Structure 1
Amino acid sequence: MTLLEKYIHCMEIGDNVGLAELFDEYGVLHDSSLGKAKMDTMHLEGRMAIEMMFHHKFGFNGGPFKIRNVEYKGKDTVEYFIHYGRTVIPVTATLEQEDENGKIKYLRITPI
């Protein structure tokens, strides 16, 4: 399973700990797609920040995010639809950097 396949799996089942473990200790998750749902861009730096944010996101969301129509565009890119409440946003997640241990150093999520 690739890093992006593991990332999608953790998002679909609401596993904030597993999600954070995919990232390097100082890894970055940058999500600008939230602007389409009238929310602020999410820029998280560090495994602990990622784990804490998704612990709250999954909690306030009532569970994992609904992700549909996942289409892998290669080892480093995946497109999918994510539901933020009643807002559905098509996004591209791109693995920009990976460390020598196979952890995510930088993951960028952008609206399509």
Structure 2
Amino acid sequence: MTLIEKYVKAMQEKDYTALAELFAKDGTIMDHCPNGANQLEYHVYGKEAIGMFYRNKFTFGKHSISEAEILSESQAKFVASYNGFLVMAIANIRRTTEDGLIERLSVRPK
């Protein structure tokens, strides 16, 4: 299973632990989609922070994805829900470490 497939699986299953394990210690997620949802963009830095951030989002039903489609080994598209506001989004793994962890991932509106 590719990193992007693992990312999508963790997001769909709302598994914040599995999601965090995909990232390097200093990995980063930049999610630009909430901007249209009357929220600030998400810039989460560090494996532990990513786990905690998504734990809260998933636990309180503030974020989910559906209708995911893998586009390439580093890109997927899906419908993202931010507090019920739906956005068609594209996730891109921008950079990985030598040991195969995500160093930088971005999510943008499609």
Normalised by the length of structure 1, the TM-score is: 0.92
Task: Please name the residue that 1:68 is paired with.
Answer: 66
> Alignment partner of 1:108: what SS?
strand
Correspondence for 2:94 among 93, 96, 103: 96
How many residue pairs get aligned? The number is: 110
- Aligned runs of 1:35-46 on 2, under 5 Å? 35-46=35-46
Distance 1:14 1:86 in 2: 16
Query: Deviation at 1:38?
Result: 1.1
Amino acid at match of 2:52: M
Letter in 2 for 1:28: T
The percent identity for this pair of structures is 30
2:43 paired with 1:58 = no
Name whichever of 45-54 and 82-91 sits farther off. Answer: 82-91
- How far 1:68 moved relative to its partner? 2.4
**Structure 1 gap ranges (5+):** none
3-state secondary structure, aligned to 2:72: coil
Moved over 6 A (4+): none
Deviation at 1:2, TM superposition (A): 0.7
101-110 vs 72-81, which moves further: 72-81
